A = this chain, B = another copy of it.
């Protein structure tokens, strides 16, 4: 049988492999080698994913690193010189991972991923710390979530630690050049682990071939670029739609609450998993929101209009509880499995429970609550002056304050003190301190760089 995924000698003018492969020892010393995992099909005779078998092929045509926030970076198409791939078949298990020049894949027109969306991914960042060191933020969480996503979309299982080592090997290799020690404060690269089924059989069935890969991309700072007011062209387009934020400058994200005819996820579906199948179907609603001058869709669910996610981020509210008169930090629960178990979400909840349940400087203590809440609860809190702030939280947008929500013909303004609400600002700064090494914390995982 012809392999469904062949290395393509011609990359798109970006980089070409020339050297032979050689054993690599790039995996981070700090991570212990676990027992080999089974492949998730219960057959231990198949090869497990094993980062220690990784081969390395040096890129011979390295490219220039684009300027921060240059058009190349804004286009979100530029990746670093290398990538990591690992091929899996149902008959042999995982082949040796390859760290090799970044370039296109050769994929058969019948490949499962092109027809049946047998794909999932992760998103995390590589940070250049204030101390000059490279760090990841809780990468084990992404790697474990990737396993859950794979399980939901019938892709093979693997040991999460091995994926983490592959990520670290790529970051170690390309970090020095693509995120130099001279980088501006707050610089990062975006890491995209992905798994696709390359199985060339058209039958609707569990895939028998897959490719796991990790790429490292130059990305703009989304939390900043989108927190500005809508450009005039977009703001103008919004005039006919009954929302009024164009009349004055709104700080923070502007969200358009979803309609009943556009539901992101459903109990018994797959909203909790990072599957391609959750993203493509959201693009029409998101495009409409953008065309009307909003940044993102606020996804509601059910007749009660439960608030679930903002765009591809989790959504948090700080309000004063009507009954107890206490401040609460609230986000939707994971129980129905319709929202993504965000790493930023979990980290915010952890930090808030640790540091915000008693007063913090001038900030009043909050109760930290994961529970269902509705758009009507939110409206009522706004009307009664109990709404303190709201923010989206996720890897791409980080912690992004929300300034306005449009819901069924009505604009709900959310207080934003200056650039951000105080709680969002505090949480963002704590997280940022860990990511950039200002605060030593177990969530910050150092990456040792390879000498080029």
Contact = CB atoms under 8 A, between A and B. Distances in A.
Interface of A: 1-4, 6, 8-10, 12-14, 75-77, 79, 83, 102, 104-110, 112-119, 121, 151-154, 190, 192, 194, 196, 200-207, 213, 215, 217, 219, 259-263, 266-270, 275-284, 286-287, 290, 311-312, 396
Contact of A281 (B75, B76, B79, B152): B152
A115 B266 contact: no
Given A117-B276, A269-B266, A276-B114, A204 B283 contact: yes
Contact of A107 (B107, B202, B270): B107
Given A3-B12, A109-B79, A113-B113, A205 B119 contact: no
Given A4-B12, A77-B202, A204-B283, 11 more contacts: A2-B14, A6-B10, A6-B12, A76-B202, A105-B108, A117-B275, A190-B202, A204-B279, A204-B286, A206-B287, A275-B280
Contact of A263 (B13, B83, B269, B284): B269
A154 B309 CA distance: 20
Contacts of A83: 109
A21 to B, nearest CB: 19
**Chain multiplicity (copies):** 2
Nearest to A213: B109
Contacts of A76: 110, 201-203
Contacts of A311: 204
A201 B77 contact: yes
Contact of A77 (B151, B190, B200, B277): B200
A121 B115 contact: yes
Nearest to A337: B261
Contact of A106 (B104, B269, B279, B281): B104
B117 A312 contact: no
Contacts of A190: 202
A116 B205 contact: no
B1 A280 contact: no
22 contacts: A6-B12, A6-B104, A8-B106, A77-B200, A79-B110, A113-B113, A114-B196, A115-B192, A116-B279, A117-B277, A117-B281, A119-B280, A152-B281, A153-B281, A154-B287, A204-B312, A205-B286, A205-B290, A206-B286, A269-B269, A269-B281, A275-B281
B12 A2 contact: yes
A424 to B, nearest CB: 22
Nearest to A284: B154
Given A106-B8, A194-B109, A284 B152 contact: yes
A82 to B, nearest CB: 11
A110 B14 contact: no
Nearest to A119: B114
Nearest to A106: B104
B107 A283 contact: no
